Amino acid sequence: MLYKHTATELSAMLKAKKITTVELINDIFDRIEKTESKLGSFTLLKKESALEEAKKVDEKIARGEELLPLEGIPIAIKDNMVSKGDLTTSASKILSNYEGIYDATVVKRLKDAGAIIIGKTNMDEFAMGSTTKSSYIKESKNPWDLERTPGGSSGGSASSVGGGQVPLSLGSDTGGSIRQPAAFCGLVGLKPTYGRVSRYGLMAFASSLDQIGPMGRSVEDVAALFNVIGGYDEMDATSMELEMPDFTMNLDGNVKGLKIGIPKEYFIDGLNPEIKKVTEEAIENFRKLGAEIVPISLPNTEFAPATYYIIAPAEASSNLARFDGVRYGYRASSYDGIEDMYIKTRSEGFGPEVKRRIMIGTYVLSAGYYDAYYKKAQKVRRLIKNDFEKAFNEVDVILTPATPGTSFKLTDKKTPVELYLEDIFTIPANLSGIPGLVIPAGKVDNLPVGVQLLGKAFDEATILKAGDAYEKAYTKMEIPEL
């Protein structure tokens, strides 16, 4: 039953010698063996190497040496983060045989911190999607209702934590891919400020938007994992050389005097009334905790989805050009000349959603349409960023709904545009580069609902502090029966 504990609790139990690391890893894999056929969280499991690492931690404990905060704690990582010697597929056929030859910076930092990587999690192909249904490998399921999606693209990372298979995981967030699945699965999910966490070794979807972040069952757990993976990295040209405070030290449950902005543009007609009700209750709860609620306006919010779906596919079409069957990965088995090999490899190797975005991206970057679409989208992106900068002159944090509705059924027939709008409340943070935290705030029809806290650039400390205060006062960690 160790799987019911948070990472912070497990770390304390290891240090107090109430459990051994080997017992913990065995318990985690027992849980995975009982639930994986239902959840479909993982694309790769590493039990043998995890137990080897666990024995080393136990030997360290036996020697009386002090453990680091996440030492011995099992963690799952999304299958678009390269790890040496492991298959790293981005859930795509075109990389189905690709084995990592180095460790991504986040992977290296986890290993250096003594955390135990137990496997890779399922995702939408190249992180493009909101359901995990675009994965070449499998669909993942929501632990609260196995007929529903855990969200995407970090759906496997969310279902693994939500289903009690692992206490912590890493996801990546290009337009909401950590925060939307966290909301659907009743978890805490953090998209850090762009440049706070190294993207070296992350398989790129849209380079100016992608960011790696932690998912867990408590704000303290997420802050502890963020402490390990964040900070400057000379291997990433976009990494910011700024001080990384200890984000767990600021979680005192006190938000008195904190100014929380409520943007009217996020309470749109398409918002599920029950989601709106939960969000309004969360606002009132923050007021009871002593926060000051301030109405604000972010007038260019309505342009965010259209802007995103020009910029993100444009960058994707460029990033994915490298997958051509020549350098690495899948290659078509029969072809007539090199041009035919390119065409057949990419036609067979990519799924429909990835092809759709490559086509859109190539179109908006083409000579005749660059000014009309891509250049204009970049100007609107600046306006959206300006809105946030102006708002943060008045408030410390902005609170919004995380998603327009609760998790939907995997069999629901949604058009690509309907799926794109699932990220309508999360996309602006990626376009602006600011941090966003989703925390559980309630349930509708026994399905989790989250709210989103947005912060100033590089001020993750304030949104984590606010999320922790809310969690301590109003939410309780739960793992559904499976």
**Which residues are catalytic, by number?**
78, 153, 177
CA–CA distance, 199 with 201 (Å, rounded to integer)? 6
Where would I find the H helices in 215-371? 219-229, 273-288, 304-319, 338-349, 352-365
For residue 141, is it left (φ>0), alpha (ψ between -120 and 50) or beta?
beta
> Dihedral of the CA atoms 11, 15, 21, 23 (nearest 10)?
-90
Q: Is residue 39 within a helix (H) or strand (E), and if so which, with residue range?
A: helix 21-39
Strands (E) located in 264-325: 292-296
With 0-12 / 13-18 / 19 or more C-beta atoms within 10 angstroms meaning exposed / middle / buried, residue 415 is exposed
Q: What's the one-letter identity of residue 252?
A: D
SS3 at position 78: strand
Residue 101 main-chain phi, psi, to 5 deg: -110, 5
Could you give the CA distance from residue 248 to residue 78 in angstroms, rounded to a whole number?
A: 24
Rounded distance between C-alpha atoms, residue 115 and residue 298, angstroms? 40
Q: Which residues of 68-94 are buried (b: 16+ CB within 10 A; e: fewer)?
A: ebbbbbbbbbbbbbbbeebebbbbbbb
Question: Using CA atoms, how far apart are residues 323 and 321, in angstroms rounded to an integer?
Answer: 5
Burial call 247-283: b when 16+ CB within 10 Å, e when fewer: bbeebeeebeebbbbbbebbeeeebbebbeebbeebb
Task: Name the maximum alpha-carbon separation found in the chain.
Answer: 70
H/E stretch holding 451 = strand 447-455
